[in-house]
Amino acid sequence: MPAGTTPQSIGPAARLPQRPGPAPVVKTAGVAAPGDGGTLERPLHGPGRSIHPDPSALVRSGSAGRSRSLTGIAALSIADLEDLLSRARRMLAALERGGGRPLTPAPLAGRRIVTLFYENSTRTAQSFHVAAHLLGAAPFDLPVARSSVQKGEGLRDTLRTCEALGFDAVILRHPVTGAAAYAATVLGVPVINAGDGTGEHPTQALLDALAILRHKGRLAGLKVAIVGDVRHSRVARSNALLLARLGAEVWLCGPPGLVPAAPPCPGVTVTTCLDEALDAADVVMALRIQRERLAGVLPDLGEYRRGWGIGPRQLERARPDAILMHPGPVNRGIELDPAVMDDPRCVVEDQVRCGVAARMAVLEWALRPVCPEGAKDEPAGGEDGLAGDEDEPSGSGAAERLGADERAAEAPWAAAGQRAESHRAEAGGVAVAPPECAAGTRRPVVANGRGRAGAEVGRR
């Protein structure tokens, strides 16, 4: 963990200064809100660590004229998801019409955003910078490796310094689950989650949905197979929550012990059998093996490649027009065979292009004033609608090696399942499990119609 991120430095140990005016505050379980003078109820721990019991999404929507934070998919309404994707499609169309030039007029002219990344990134960090530039905002980066964090400065003080410097939004990536939700309680400017521990990566899910819409024209009714270390993947979690709620049939597949014990919401099926997950899939998404997050618990990479790696033979089980996705960076020869990387169905680079448009949409959504109730919000980028309609590993014995860290990693999935209960009317139907895999494997775990996990069938 980077220097300065300790249980004491993360949490607000003393009363925070009160802000002038009636700034609304969103409280999250286990996190002290500004002005409360409390401390975090739960200390940090190892992989899967969390800074509070419910590290799920916060979306802080103020009154008219105030901006919004995006810290996860789970708290977004269906209307919010459709709004963000509609904006993203407009942005993508505007960029293609304009040859990638900045929008005119610039919707975020005069705004300043800062990326604060406690973990390495290429695609996410740079696409936020490009997105801000194309919207007319000034993007800045606070390099943690050369900042006062190395002198012991805590997250709260670093965040408050960013606000004091006049930044209009903070894009935060942090190794602790729930850090973005915590930051949203500390700051009076929007916080956008660029990945927090094993929690969520909401803008990755939005760009993935945009890429699917671009190639398939719809989300509802598609079968999406997400393969890898699903349990520890913030990409898988955010994608499952978004895609299932918009009508896709999501299959989560990985080695025993590296898939969640229960689906996060209706419309999601969990299995350890790759053939089942890929059978007639419209979208296949592989996840990166996160060596940095699973040091000491990774099974043999050869075992993973043989059981859950995706090559030409495995891809044959999907539909002929299926698309192949990966959040990047790809460990060639492990998650994906180099041969499928050159397959025309592979859209990994197109995901990067969609990432710019999706993050433009999020920045516009977060920073443009919220219209008064009844007023029409006109997103930038022209007219378009929803027409047509970092992460991973595995092998036997992994469950035993994960131990307490595995139990900790279940918390975000359990919380997501509880939140999905409130959205069951929106989420739609039940994922239907196909026949069992070969002997010795586990049958899928299926969400029932009430949004709770179906019973898991033991080994035969």
Residue numbering of the annotated binding site: 123-124, 151, 173, 201, 204, 234, 288, 328-329
Structure-token pair, residue 384: 């378009």
Report how far apart, in Å, the C-alpha atoms of 197 and of each of 46, 118, 157, 164, 404 are.
10, 10, 20, 26, 16
Give which of 257, 253, 227, 231 is closest to 398, Cα–Cα.
257
Diameter over CA atoms, the chain? 65
* Angstrom distance (rounded) from CA 327 to CA 289: 11
**What residue numbers does the annotated binding site for carbamoyl phosphate cover?**
123-124, 173, 201, 204, 328-329
- Whole-number Cα distances in Å, 299 to 4, 256, 274, 399: 31, 11, 17, 10
Tokens of 72: 């996860």
Q: In 3-state terms, what secondary structure has residue 182?
A: helix
In what helix (H) or strand (E) does residue 78 lie, and over which residues does it extend? helix 78-97
CA–CA dist 354, 309 (Å, integer): 25
Cα–Cα distances (Å) from 247 to 29, 147, 224, 263, 327, in that order, read 30, 44, 11, 15, 21
Per the DSSP assignment, residues forming a β-bridge with 450 are none
Q: Which residues contact 438 (CB under 8 A, 6 or more apart)?
A: 273
Rg (CA), the chain: 21
Instruction: Using DSSP bridges, classify how beta strands 323-325 and 445-446 pair: parallel, antiparallel or unpaired.
Output: unpaired
Q: Give the β-pairing of 223-227 and 283-286.
A: parallel
Which residues are annotated as part of the binding site for L-aspartate?
A: 151, 234, 288
Return the structure tokens found at 213. 């819409």
Exposed, middle or buried by CB within 10 Å (0-12, 13-18, 19+), for 99?
exposed
CA proximity to 244, closest of 416, 111, 395: 416
